[in-house]
Amino acid sequence: MTMKKTALVVGATGVSGRALINYLDRQEDWSVIGLSRKPPYFETRARFVSVDLTNPESCQEGLSGLSEVTHVFYTAYVDNKVIAETRAPNARMFANFLPVIEKAAKNLQHVCLLQGTKYYGQYLGPFKTPAKETDPRISVPHFYYDQQDLLMAASEGKDWSWSAARPHVICGFALGNPLNLVATIAVYASLLREMGEPLGFPGKPGAFTSIYQATDADLLAKAMVWMSISPQCANEAFNITNGDFFRYQNMWPVFARHFGMQAGGVETMDVPSRMRGTDKLWDTMVEKYRLQRHPLSLLVNWDFANYAFSNDWDVMSDTTKCRKFGFLDFIDSEQMFLDQFSALQRDKIIP
């Protein structure tokens, strides 16, 4: 008989957290607790606990009774337009969380930490590619380092282990999480189509031609669960991507065809300025196409679009290590985008 495991998914209403809960909901040997400040907006059998990770008292109150937790999946993140200013709050949240859950969860077995390619300095400019888990840390401080150092120190000599997943541009859907590449492209295309315009690429010319990668949220969830229960993965970090690469210059015409549009070329612009005033148009589209009544601000953040389409250097992670350790799943990125666009249309998020 398989022993029942209890997952605590931290950041449960985000893209990665939702995907983890959806995946674990389907596993008979798991029970799930979701941790977030907001209640779930999707169907799940998980029990939800509301905790403000920025508040030590809230952590103490909300986490102290979770004695049944055996596995933690930490995906919580606080964003800021200035990346350097994300360090302090995210490091502090994890420092508030970890000692309380470690004390409460008497049978804790594993903590899986969500990181990303910022670990390798991807956000600063051209970096060593393909990035490998053994690459040294860059000199610029980042909360990924703070969180991992705290995790490693806390697990020293304990019965529980840790792991870290390093994806890039996680693709899935979460309501109220506008830092989302799939939703950004889909809503941008829908608005341009409504205006009768072609689908131009709003980023830099170099971003149009450079090599890029993505990580499907469901694939990431499966990988994080795999590394949390596989003994060989204890105290290891893994790059997790779809397993392929693409260039937007090849992908953009495919996107245009999906939305029934003419593909445009590179039209470098400030996306927030270009999209200013489209909230009213979106509200009109919601009525016209009988979409779910979500304001545009819950679906997209146009500043994120500027960032996402500005990387005019190659972004490549080596995924040899996860394959050597036993995770062999992969997804075709082009098909992933098309499938997720179709899901947004089916769910009446976009027309």
Q: pLDDT category, 4, cuts 50, 70, 90?
A: confident
Per residue in 63-96, pLDDT tens?
A: 999 999 999 999 999 988 888 899 999 999 999 9
Residue 80's pLDDT is what?
A: 83
Euclidean distance between CA atoms 72 and 158, whole angstroms: 15
Report how far residue 25's alpha carbon sits from residue 314's, in angstroms, rounded to the nearest whole number: 36
Give the tens place of pLDDT for each residue, 177-214: 878 899 999 999 999 999 999 999 999 999 999 999 99
Q: What angle do CA 289, 290, 294 make, to 5 degrees?
A: 105
- Answer whether residue 223 shows pLDDT above 60: yes
Given this structure, which CATH class describes domain 5-170+215-239?
A: alpha beta
pLDDT digits (tens, 9 = 90+) for 84-93: 899 999 999 9
Distance from C-alpha of 206 to C-alpha of 212, rounded to nearest angstrom? 11
Predicted structure pTM score: 0.96
User: In the chain, where are the structural domains located?
Assistant: 5-170+215-239, 178-213+245-315+331-346
What's the confidence (pLDDT) of residue 3? 76
Could you tell me which of 147, 165, 168 has the C-alpha nearest to residue 221? 165
What percentage of the chain reaches a pLDDT higher than 90? 93
Give the chain's length. 351
pLDDT at 1: 46
Distance CA 178, CA 168 (A): 16
**pLDDT beyond 70 at 2:** no
- Report the pLDDT value the prediction gives residue 150, as an integer from 0 to 100: 98
Phi, psi of 329 (to 5 degrees): -70, 150
What Å distances lie between residue 158 and 8, 88, 103, 109, 154, CA to CA? Answer: 19, 27, 12, 9, 8
319's CB contacts (< 8 A; 6+ apart) are 238, 239, 240, 241, 243
> Among residues of the chain, what percentage have pLDDT more than 70?
99
Residue-level pLDDT at 55: 97
260-319 pLDDT, tens digit per residue, is: 999 999 999 999 999 999 999 999 999 999 999 999 999 999 999 999 999 999 999 999
Mean pLDDT of the chain, nearest integer = 96
| pLDDT in the model for residue 81 | 81
Residue 39 in this model has a pLDDT that exceeds 80: yes
Residues 6+ apart with CB under 8 A from 226: 233, 326, 327
φ and ψ at residue 108, rounded to 5 degrees:
-60, 130
**38 pLDDT exceeds 90?**
no
pLDDT at 76: 96
Structure tokens at 100: 């309380």
116-169 confidence digits (pLDDT tens): 999 999 999 999 999 999 999 999 999 999 999 999 999 999 999 999 999 999
pLDDT (0 to 100) of residue 351: 97
